[in-house]
Protein backbone atom coordinates (compact mmCIF):
# COMPACT_ATOMS: atom_id res chain seq x y z
CA UNK A 1 0.00 0.00 0.00
CA UNK A 2 2.88 2.32 0.83
CA UNK A 3 4.43 1.71 -2.59
CA UNK A 4 1.19 2.62 -4.39
CA UNK A 5 0.84 5.77 -2.27
CA UNK A 6 4.40 6.78 -3.10
CA UNK A 7 3.72 6.34 -6.82
CA UNK A 8 0.62 8.54 -6.63
CA UNK A 9 2.56 11.18 -4.72
CA UNK A 10 5.31 11.12 -7.32
CA UNK A 11 2.73 11.43 -10.11
CA UNK A 12 1.17 14.46 -8.41
CA UNK A 13 4.53 16.15 -8.32
CA UNK A 14 5.04 15.45 -12.01
CA UNK A 15 1.66 17.03 -12.77
CA UNK A 16 2.69 20.12 -10.83
CA UNK A 17 5.92 20.31 -12.83
CA UNK A 18 4.01 19.87 -16.12
CA UNK A 19 1.76 22.73 -15.13
CA UNK A 20 4.86 24.86 -14.65
CA UNK A 21 6.03 23.85 -18.15
CA UNK A 22 2.73 25.12 -19.59
CA UNK A 23 2.94 28.33 -17.58
CA UNK A 24 6.40 29.05 -18.94
CA UNK A 25 5.30 28.68 -22.56
CA UNK A 26 4.91 31.86 -24.61
CA UNK A 27 1.24 31.18 -25.21
CA UNK A 28 -0.24 34.65 -24.90
CA UNK A 29 -2.61 33.30 -22.25
CA UNK A 30 -2.25 32.26 -18.65
CA UNK A 31 -3.16 28.63 -17.92
CA UNK A 32 -6.32 29.70 -16.00
CA UNK A 33 -7.37 31.88 -18.97
CA UNK A 34 -6.75 28.96 -21.33
CA UNK A 35 -8.83 26.64 -19.16
CA UNK A 36 -11.75 29.08 -19.10
CA UNK A 37 -11.69 29.70 -22.85
CA UNK A 38 -11.59 25.97 -23.60
CA UNK A 39 -14.58 25.51 -21.26
CA UNK A 40 -16.45 28.09 -23.36
CA UNK A 41 -15.68 26.32 -26.64
CA UNK A 42 -18.82 24.19 -26.32
CA UNK A 43 -21.08 27.19 -25.78
CA UNK A 44 -21.89 30.00 -23.38
CA UNK A 45 -21.80 29.24 -19.69
CA UNK A 46 -23.04 30.96 -16.55
CA UNK A 47 -20.56 31.89 -13.85
CA UNK A 48 -21.82 29.21 -11.46
CA UNK A 49 -21.32 26.47 -14.06
CA UNK A 50 -17.84 27.73 -14.88
CA UNK A 51 -16.93 27.72 -11.21
CA UNK A 52 -18.05 24.08 -10.96
CA UNK A 53 -16.24 22.96 -14.09
CA UNK A 54 -13.00 24.76 -13.33
CA UNK A 55 -13.17 23.99 -9.59
CA UNK A 56 -12.67 27.63 -8.65
CA UNK A 57 -14.67 30.18 -6.68
CA UNK A 58 -17.14 32.57 -8.31
CA UNK A 59 -15.07 35.71 -7.51
CA UNK A 60 -12.15 34.09 -9.35
CA UNK A 61 -14.44 33.36 -12.30
CA UNK A 62 -15.52 37.00 -12.37
CA UNK A 63 -11.92 38.25 -12.29
CA UNK A 64 -10.85 35.88 -15.09
CA UNK A 65 -13.91 36.77 -17.19
CA UNK A 66 -13.26 40.50 -16.79
CA UNK A 67 -9.69 40.03 -18.04
CA UNK A 68 -10.79 37.98 -21.06
CA UNK A 69 -13.50 40.49 -21.92
CA UNK A 70 -11.02 43.35 -21.70
CA UNK A 71 -8.73 41.45 -24.10
CA UNK A 72 -11.61 40.84 -26.50
CA UNK A 73 -11.48 37.07 -26.03
CA UNK A 74 -14.91 36.71 -24.41
CA UNK A 75 -18.16 38.59 -24.00
CA UNK A 76 -21.19 38.51 -21.73
CA UNK A 77 -24.59 37.99 -23.34
CA UNK A 78 -28.03 38.09 -21.73
CA UNK A 79 -30.40 35.19 -22.26
CA UNK A 80 -32.97 35.95 -24.98
CA UNK A 81 -35.95 34.92 -22.87
CA UNK A 82 -34.67 36.22 -19.54
CA UNK A 83 -32.23 39.13 -19.42
CA UNK A 84 -31.41 38.32 -15.79
CA UNK A 85 -29.52 35.26 -17.02
CA UNK A 86 -26.06 36.22 -18.31
CA UNK A 87 -23.70 33.80 -20.00
CA UNK A 88 -20.05 34.18 -20.93
CA UNK A 89 -19.26 33.40 -24.58
CA UNK A 90 -15.96 33.00 -26.38
CA UNK A 91 -15.34 35.38 -29.28
CA UNK A 92 -13.62 34.63 -32.56
CA UNK A 93 -10.52 36.39 -31.23
CA UNK A 94 -10.71 34.07 -28.23
CA UNK A 95 -10.72 31.01 -30.48
CA UNK A 96 -7.66 32.30 -32.29
CA UNK A 97 -5.94 32.88 -28.93
CA UNK A 98 -6.74 29.31 -27.81
CA UNK A 99 -5.30 27.87 -31.02
CA UNK A 100 -2.11 29.90 -30.54
CA UNK A 101 -1.78 28.82 -26.92
CA UNK A 102 -2.21 25.16 -27.83
CA UNK A 103 0.57 25.41 -30.42
CA UNK A 104 2.85 26.91 -27.78
CA UNK A 105 1.93 24.23 -25.21
CA UNK A 106 2.44 21.44 -27.73
CA UNK A 107 5.87 22.79 -28.58
CA UNK A 108 6.83 22.28 -24.94
CA UNK A 109 5.14 18.91 -24.39
CA UNK A 110 5.89 17.03 -27.61
CA UNK A 111 9.63 16.72 -26.91
CA UNK A 112 8.81 15.35 -23.45
CA UNK A 113 6.32 12.84 -24.85
CA UNK A 114 8.94 11.61 -27.27
CA UNK A 115 10.96 10.42 -24.26
CA UNK A 116 8.04 8.40 -22.82
CA UNK A 117 8.28 4.66 -23.46
CA UNK A 118 4.66 4.41 -24.67
CA UNK A 119 3.50 7.84 -25.76
CA UNK A 120 0.06 6.64 -26.90
CA UNK A 121 -0.60 4.92 -23.59
CA UNK A 122 0.35 8.07 -21.70
CA UNK A 123 -1.95 10.24 -23.81
CA UNK A 124 -4.78 7.69 -23.49
CA UNK A 125 -4.37 7.76 -19.71
CA UNK A 126 -4.64 11.55 -19.66
CA UNK A 127 -7.78 11.44 -21.82
CA UNK A 128 -9.29 8.80 -19.51
CA UNK A 129 -8.65 11.06 -16.53
CA UNK A 130 -10.37 13.91 -18.38
CA UNK A 131 -13.40 11.72 -19.06
CA UNK A 132 -13.53 10.69 -15.41
CA UNK A 133 -13.50 14.34 -14.35
CA UNK A 134 -16.37 15.08 -16.75
CA UNK A 135 -18.38 12.14 -15.41
CA UNK A 136 -17.81 13.25 -11.83
CA UNK A 137 -18.93 16.79 -12.65
CA UNK A 138 -22.06 15.51 -14.39
CA UNK A 139 -22.91 13.37 -11.34
CA UNK A 140 -22.45 16.32 -9.01
CA UNK A 141 -24.77 18.43 -11.15
CA UNK A 142 -27.44 15.71 -11.21
CA UNK A 143 -27.22 15.30 -7.45
CA UNK A 144 -27.48 19.06 -6.93
CA UNK A 145 -30.53 19.23 -9.22
CA UNK A 146 -32.19 16.33 -7.40
CA UNK A 147 -31.50 17.95 -4.05
CA UNK A 148 -33.03 21.26 -5.17
CA UNK A 149 -36.09 19.45 -6.55
CA UNK A 150 -36.56 17.48 -3.34
CA UNK A 151 -36.17 20.64 -1.24
CA UNK A 152 -38.76 22.47 -3.35
CA UNK A 153 -41.15 19.51 -2.99
CA UNK A 154 -40.68 19.46 0.79
CA UNK A 155 -41.31 23.21 1.02
CA UNK A 156 -44.48 22.95 -1.06
CA UNK A 157 -45.75 20.04 1.04
CA UNK A 158 -45.04 21.98 4.25
CA UNK A 159 -46.89 25.04 2.96
CA UNK A 160 -49.94 22.96 2.01
CA UNK A 161 -49.91 21.25 5.39
CA UNK A 162 -49.60 24.56 7.24
CA UNK A 163 -52.41 26.07 5.17
CA UNK A 164 -54.70 23.11 5.82
CA UNK A 165 -53.89 23.21 9.53
CA UNK A 166 -54.59 26.93 9.64
CA UNK A 167 -57.99 26.50 7.94
CA UNK A 168 -58.94 23.74 10.35
CA UNK A 169 -57.96 25.85 13.34
CA UNK A 170 -60.02 28.77 12.05
CA UNK A 171 -63.06 26.57 11.51
CA UNK A 172 -62.67 25.10 14.99
CA UNK A 173 -62.41 28.57 16.51
CA UNK A 174 -65.49 29.75 14.65
CA UNK A 175 -67.40 26.69 15.86
CA UNK A 176 -66.32 27.27 19.45
CA UNK A 177 -67.36 30.94 19.22
CA UNK A 178 -70.74 29.97 17.80
CA UNK A 179 -71.17 27.46 20.61
CA UNK A 180 -70.36 30.11 23.21
CA UNK A 181 -72.75 32.56 21.59
CA UNK A 182 -75.50 29.94 21.51
CA UNK A 183 -74.91 29.12 25.16
CA UNK A 184 -75.05 32.78 26.08
CA UNK A 185 -78.33 33.24 24.18
CA UNK A 186 -79.83 30.21 25.91
CA UNK A 187 -78.83 31.53 29.31
CA UNK A 188 -80.44 34.89 28.58
CA UNK A 189 -83.67 33.27 27.40
CA UNK A 190 -83.78 31.11 30.48
CA UNK A 191 -83.25 34.15 32.63
CA UNK A 192 -86.13 35.84 30.82
CA UNK A 193 -88.42 32.88 31.36
CA UNK A 194 -87.47 32.67 34.99
CA UNK A 195 -88.14 36.36 35.40
CA UNK A 196 -91.61 35.98 33.85
CA UNK A 197 -92.59 33.00 35.95
CA UNK A 198 -91.37 34.23 39.33
CA UNK A 199 -91.97 37.85 40.42
CA UNK A 200 -89.23 39.51 42.31
CA UNK A 201 -89.43 39.98 46.05
CA UNK A 202 -90.33 43.67 45.68
CA UNK A 203 -93.16 42.91 43.28
CA UNK A 204 -94.50 40.24 45.56
CA UNK A 205 -94.38 42.62 48.47
CA UNK A 206 -96.30 45.27 46.56
CA UNK A 207 -98.87 42.74 45.44
CA UNK A 208 -99.33 41.49 48.97
CA UNK A 209 -99.68 45.04 50.34
CA UNK A 210 -102.28 45.84 47.72
CA UNK A 211 -104.29 42.78 48.56
CA UNK A 212 -104.21 43.62 52.24
CA UNK A 213 -105.30 47.14 51.63
CA UNK A 214 -108.20 45.94 49.50
CA UNK A 215 -109.32 43.58 52.21
CA UNK A 216 -109.42 46.37 54.79
CA UNK A 217 -111.64 48.43 52.55
- Tell me the per-residue pLDDT of 8-34, one tens digit each, with 9 for 90 and over: 999 999 999 999 999 999 999 999 999
With 0-12 / 13-18 / 19 or more C-beta atoms within 10 angstroms meaning exposed / middle / buried, residue 215 is exposed
- What local confidence, expressed as pLDDT, does residue 141 receive? 72
- With cut-offs at 50, 70 and 90, classify the pLDDT of residue 183: low
> Whole-angstrom Cα distance, residue 42 to residue 200?
100
CATH number belonging to the domain at 2-115, selected among 3.20.20.140, 1.10.10.10, 3.40.640.10, 3.40.50.720: 1.10.10.10
Q: What is the rounded average pLDDT of the residues 46-50? A: 91
Q: What is the rounded average pLDDT of the residues 93-118? A: 94
* Tens-place pLDDT, residues 68-89: 999 999 999 998 878 888 999 9
- With cut-offs at 50, 70 and 90, classify the pLDDT of residue 175: low
Torsion of CA 169, 171, 177, 178, to 10 degrees: -160
- What local confidence, expressed as pLDDT, does residue 146 receive? 82
For the chain, the structural domain boundaries read: 2-115, 122-197
Amino acid sequence: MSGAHDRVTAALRVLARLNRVLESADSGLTVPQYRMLTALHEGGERSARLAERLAIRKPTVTALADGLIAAGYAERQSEAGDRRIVRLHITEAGRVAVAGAERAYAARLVPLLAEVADEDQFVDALLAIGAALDDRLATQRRDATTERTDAAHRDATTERTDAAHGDGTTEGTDGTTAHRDGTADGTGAAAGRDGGARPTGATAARTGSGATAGGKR
